Amino acid sequence: MTTTLGISLAGRRVLIVGGGSVTARRLPRFVDEQAHIVIVAPELSPAVSAIVADRRIEWHEREVRSDDVDGAWIVHTATGDARVDADVAAWCERQRVFCVNASDGAHGSARMTSEVRSGDVVIGVTSGDGVDPRRSVRVSASIREVLDSGGVDLRRHRSVPGRVALVGGGPGPVDLMTLRARRLLAEADVVVTDRLGPVAVLDELAPDVEVVHVGKAPGSHPVPQPEINALLVEFARAGKRVVRLKGGDPFVYGRGGEEVAACHAAGVPVEVVPAPSSAMAVPQAAGIPVTHRGVASSMHIINGQSGLSMADIAAMRDDSVTTVLLMGVAAFASMSRQAIRMGAPAGRPVAVVENGHSECQRTIRSTLGDAARELVEAQVRNPSVIVIGEVAKAGLLLPETGATAPVSAGSA
C-alpha cells in the first residue's frame, strides 16, 4: 500500500542516479519544484544534458557510490541496470531515505505519481496495490479532461487576495474557448460578462457564482466603462476572483486595456487571456481567409462606431489589403460612400457575415457600391462582421471550374 503526500522539495537535496531517457522524463518535475538536484551518472543523454546546462544542475560524471545517498531527502534511480538500481534502493533503505526505483517500482520505497495540474491545484495518481503506471496515466488523463472542461469547482474557499482575469471568449461557441479560460471560469467567484461571446458557458457556473451583465449594444450602454472598471476593482478588493468575460479578444476593440489600467492603478492583480478575435474567426466561419497568398498580404481592422481615418481609406483603396469592419452595420452606408468618394473602387468585393459561428449565421456577398442597399433589403443586424477586399470574392477557395458556386453560411 502507498500513501500520497504533498512534499516540498524546494532547496532540498535530491539525488538522481542515471542519465538516460527515464531521467529525461522525470527530471523536469524536480526542477519545477526548485529542488537542489545532484545527478550521478557516467554519461548523460542529450535531453538530460540540455536540462543540466540550462539549469546549472550538479553532475558527477561517474558510477554511483553508497555515500552519494548521504544528505539526500529523496533518491530517484534509473540507471537501466536493475542490479545497480536495487543496490541504490538498499542503500536508501538503510539510511531511511525514500527511493524511487524506476527498474522495479514495487521494491522502491516511493513512486512517482502521474500528475495533473490546474492552476494551483495539483492532483497525483498512483496505484495503491501493485505498480500500474499505465492505469495511473489513463486516470490522470480523464481527470485532466474534466478539469479542462470547467466541470469542477476549483475556487478557493479560504480568504485570499482578490484578482481579475480578462478572459477572451472568442466568437461565441463554448468549444472555441481556451482551456485556460475554462479553468478561470471554474475558479471564479464573480463573472462580469458582455452581451456577446460564449454566454452559454454561464449555464455551467456553480449556483453561487455572481454574474453581472454589463453588455453593450449599438446605441445602448447600460453600464458605462468607468463603472465597469470600478466594479472589477471593488470585487477584487473584497477578496473575489473575478472573471471579466468578453466576446472576441480582450485587446481588440474590447476596451481591455482600460480595464487592465484601472486594476493596475488600484493595485489589483490582473491577467489577460487571449482568444480568437471575431475580426478573423467570423470570416473564417464563412470560408473567408483574411490573408491569402497572391490576393491579400495584410489586414486592417476598423471599429464601425468611429469615423474613417485616412489610413482606413488607404486600406480600402489597396488591392492587397483586407479591411474588416466590426459592429459597422449602422455606419456602413456613410462609410462606403466616403470611401468611394475618396478613391476606393465601387466594385471592391464585400462579404457581410451575420451571427457568425451560430446556427443562424448567414453570409451576403456584394460590392462596396451595392452592399449598403443590400444590407437594408436583407435586414442585416449586428453582430455582423463586414469584410472588404478581394478575399471576399465568392468562390475564392474553390477550384477554378467551380468558381461561380455560391458560398453558404459556414462553408467555404
What tens-digit pLDDT sequence spans the chain (412 residues)?
Answer: 677 788 899 999 999 999 999 999 999 999 988 999 999 999 999 999 999 987 779 999 999 999 999 999 999 999 999 999 999 999 999 999 999 998 887 778 998 887 777 777 778 787 766 666 677 778 877 877 777 776 676 766 555 679 999 999 999 899 999 999 999 999 999 999 998 889 889 988 888 899 999 976 555 557 899 999 999 999 999 999 999 999 999 999 989 999 999 999 999 999 999 999 999 999 999 999 999 999 999 999 999 888 899 999 999 999 999 999 998 999 999 999 999 999 999 999 999 999 999 999 999 999 999 999 999 999 999 899 999 999 999 889 888 654 444 444 444 4
My answer on whether 125 and 108 are in the same domain is: no
User: Among candidates 279, 277, 259, which has minimal Cα distance to 214?
Assistant: 259
- Domain end point (choices 211, 238, 273): 273
Q: Of 21, 14, 33, 39, which is closest to residue 92 (Cα–Cα)?
A: 14
Is there a domain that residue 197 lies in? Answer: yes
412 domain residue, yes or no: no
- Residues 205 and 262 placed together within one structural domain of the fold: yes
Give the HSE-up count for residue 57: Cα atoms under 13 Å, Cβ half-sphere: 30
Vertex 82 angle, CA 79 and 85, to 5°: 55
Rg of the chain in Å (alpha carbons) = 29
Domain range for 42 is 13-112
Torsion over CA: 13, 18, 19, 25 (sign): negative
Put simply, whether the predicted model's pTM sits higher than 0.85 gets the answer: no
CB atoms within 10 A of CB 87: 17
Q: The domain that contains 295 carries what CATH number?
A: 3.30.950.10
Contact 249, 194 (CB under 8 A): no
Whether 299 and 266 map to the same domain: the answer is no
Are 109 and 94 within 8 A, CB to CB?
no
Name every residue whose Cβ is closer than 8 Å to that of residue 43 and which is 6 or more positions away in sequence: 19, 61
Which residues on adjacent β-strands are paired with residue 349? 367
Co-location of 307 and 370 in the same domain: yes
